[in-house]
């Protein structure tokens, strides 16, 4: 069992913790708005990921396999939404600017990001098909696998937010701030394109 858990943790870290749209968006939000103001966004991303795990376990991933057009539509909507979030980050005021208080991505933004992103479902579908924990009860096997994956995602996403927070002091310099926000927004869009076409 210990070997299966170690293998699952490694797989989850690679699949859910790699620099995809959600982790890059968390780093960009934390860098631009600060760690504290990005916590609701983080909560939304984790809730959306939990819903994606639940839906994947219930068979929604099979729906995407049988109806690729539904998946393509959701991918397009998710990509456009992430581009919108990238624009908000690229055009944000400095973290210390009081007018910036309401500009941080919200819980709803994070929730939508993962709920409408077919890659979240595909990630759990891949994990459930290859790395399910060897527990006698099928329900417990899926449940423990999902909880383990969510714990890994929670910690890797905190890492991404902390990485973004390290850039905050640089964002107090106007010229550097524009450059960093532009790079982070571009990285978000690049992560979307990579997820869709890579």
**pLDDT band per the 50, 70, 90 thresholds, residue 155:** very high
Q: Looking at mean pLDDT, say which of 23-32, 35-44, 119-128 comes out highest.
A: 35-44
Give the N- to C-terminal CA distance of the chain in Å, as an integer: 33
128 pLDDT above the threshold of 50: yes
What is the secondary structure of 150-194 as a DSSP string? Answer: HHHHHHHHHHHHHHHHTTGGGGGSHHHHHHHHHHHHHHHHHHHHH
**pLDDT band per the 50, 70, 90 thresholds, residue 98:** very low
* Domain ranges for the chain: 2-197
Q: Which of 73-82, 91-100, 142-151, 180-189 has the lowest mean pLDDT?
A: 91-100
pLDDT per position as a tens digit, 64-77: 667 778 777 777 77
More confident residue, 30 or 68: 30
Q: Dig out the tokens for 115 from the structure.
A: 């709920």
**pTM, two decimal places:** 0.75
- For 12, which DSSP code? H
User: What integer pLDDT is reported at residue 41 of this predicted model?
Assistant: 95
User: What integer pLDDT is reported at residue 99 of this predicted model?
Assistant: 45
The Cβ of residue 154 has, within 10 Å, a number of other Cβ atoms equal to 15
User: What integer pLDDT is reported at residue 65 of this predicted model?
Assistant: 67
């Amino acid at each position: 069992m210990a070997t299966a858990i170690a293998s699952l943790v490694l797989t989850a870290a690679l699949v859910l913790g790699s620099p995809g749209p959600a982790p890059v968006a968390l780093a960009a939000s934390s860098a631009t708005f600060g760690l504290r103001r990005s916590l609701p966004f983080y909560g939304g991303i984790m809730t959306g990921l939990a819903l994606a795990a639940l839906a994947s376990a219930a068979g929604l991933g099979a729906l995407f396999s049988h109806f690729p057009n539904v998946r393509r539509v959701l991918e397009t909507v998710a990509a456009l939404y992430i581009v919108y979030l990238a624009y908000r980050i690229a055009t944000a005021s400095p973290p210390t600017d009081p007018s910036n208080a309401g500009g941080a991505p919200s819980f709803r933004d994070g929730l939508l990001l993962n709920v409408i992103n077919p890659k979240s479902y595909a990630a759990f579908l891949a994990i459930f098909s290859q790395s399910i924990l060897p527990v006698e009860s099928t329900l417990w096997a899926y449940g423990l696998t999902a909880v383990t994956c969510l714990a890994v995602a929670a910690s890797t996403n905190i890492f991404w937010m902390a990485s973004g927070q390290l850039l905050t002091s640089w964002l107090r310099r106007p010229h550097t701030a524009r450059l960093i926000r532009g790079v982070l927004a571009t990285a978000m869009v690049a992560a979307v394109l990579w997820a869709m076409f890579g």
